[in-house]
Amino acid sequence: MKNGLYSIHVDLLDGRTGKGSGVIVFRDGKLLGGDAYLFYVGSYSVSGSTFKGEVQVNQHTPSSTESPLFGGQNQPVGIGVTGTFTDTTGTMNGTALVGKASQIFKATLRRLADAD
């Protein structure tokens, strides 16, 4: 994964409905990101044109009108991810453990700026 700032667009799978968007920085094996309600912190490793990692999602702002993906939890949500990438884009699949239920998702990534 090339170091940089990426947009991320998430769609739930497995018969569930839900979408989310935000930004995420991949830099030297660490990732940081967020959106209007959530922030993400994690790590990843790269092999060829694939990556895998672990992400922890926390809600930073409560919402009375929105139900953010992976939000509404008192505890952080752990997510395992795998993906593929090119110089400018990527796809990521993951499984989040939200409470006692797992949520499977797919995300698209688009590099917006370098982070060197």
CATH number assigned to the domain comprising residue 47: 2.40.128.380
Percent of the chain with pLDDT over 90: 65
**Beta-ladder partners of 98:** 101
Encode pLDDT of 43-96 as tens digits. 999 999 999 999 999 988 887 666 667 766 778 889 999 999 999 999 999 999
Q: Which domain holds residue 40?
A: 4-114
Percent of the chain with pLDDT over 70: 93
* Alpha carbon 29 to its chain's center: 14
Instruction: Supply the mean pLDDT for the chain.
Output: 90
Q: Considering its fold, how many domains does the chain have in total?
A: 1
Question: What is the rounded distance in angstroms from the CA atom of residue 49 to the CA atom of residue 38?
Answer: 28
